[in-house]
Amino acid sequence: MYRQIDLNARLSADPNARAKILYNTYPGGYRLHRHPFFEFSLATGGEALHIVNGVPSRFKAGDISLLSPTALHQFLPIDGAEPLTMYTISFSPEPIRAEFWAHVPAQNMPYSVHLDAETFSAIRRAFQKLHMRASAEKLPFDLYTQTAIEWIILNMMEFSPEALSPDYMKIRPALIFIQNNFAGQISLADAAASAFFSREYFSSLFRRTMGFSFQQYLLDLRLEYSANLLALTSLTVTEISEQSGFLSLSYFIRAFHRRFQMSPSAFRETKRQEGIMPLPLI
């Protein structure tokens, strides 16, 4: 049965429970899951097939990925390869300063790169130190943790081929906010406030920078997420509609049909005919 970790509930109960770190070897892989927070994965040994939103790629020692809450992902073992060993850091994005998020290309989320030997060694040491500071996997989100995560972001983005425009960097905090909250009931004013802009200025800046409106971006995120749930899970259409942020099932079905030229049920059946079967979702 699907179980989603409620990080916000943890935060309200314990203001310091904003991050979690794991270090494990996965001989059998790790099954399909999702979570309402951001996650770093750093492979330190072995190899596995990392499937994110249905798209597979090899994940091996020296690779690091950053996933947003829109990602459904799993790791599958590869025949003949050593099992994957990796660190994962799950964290709430709010304490990370906006100027650091500005370096992350949101349109390419999930983001994955292969590090050179020197950078991998330095980032691995940072993960090791964070792991040593954790208690029962919980990581205190103090200045040390905040600074370490920001430093990891900067070093990871050195391997990005993209140059981000000044306007994009201005709206980047809002893009992070939207990706972290798309399944809730957020407004243009909420997104504008997350980037410290007025509603009117942000609306104009967002459209000029992205080429479409805030409302269209939010709708696209929800529809893409719902399509992944339809393809990869056995959740009902009603459950998927609700968990993707739609208040009305009928509106969800109409919007989905406009985007994909078929109903949610027909889309799922097409994926089944392509051989894509539902997996247990935790």
Give the pLDDT confidence score for residue 110 in this predicted structure. 67
Contact 94, 103 (CB under 8 A): no
Structure token digits, residue 243: 């968990």
Query: Interhelix angle for 166-181 vs 214-232, to 10°?
Result: 50
Structure token digits, residue 134: 């954790």
Give the pLDDT confidence score for residue 210 in this predicted structure. 85
pLDDT tens series, the chain, 282 aa? 222 333 333 333 344 447 899 999 999 888 888 877 899 999 999 999 998 887 788 999 999 999 988 888 889 999 999 999 999 999 988 888 877 776 676 655 668 889 999 999 999 999 999 999 998 888 888 889 999 999 999 898 887 655 567 888 788 888 888 988 899 999 999 999 999 999 999 999 999 988 889 999 999 889 989 998 998 889 999 999 999 999 999 999 999 999 999 999 999 999 899 887 776 665
Amino acid identity at 15:
P
| Distance between CA atoms of residues 205 and 152, nearest Å | 29
Q: Can you spell out the DSSP letters for 17-81?
A: --EEEEEEEETT-EEEE--SSEEEEEEEESEEEEEETTEEEEEETTEEEEE-TT--EEEEE-TTS
Give the pLDDT confidence score for residue 161 in this predicted structure. 55
Give the pLDDT confidence score for residue 138 in this predicted structure. 87
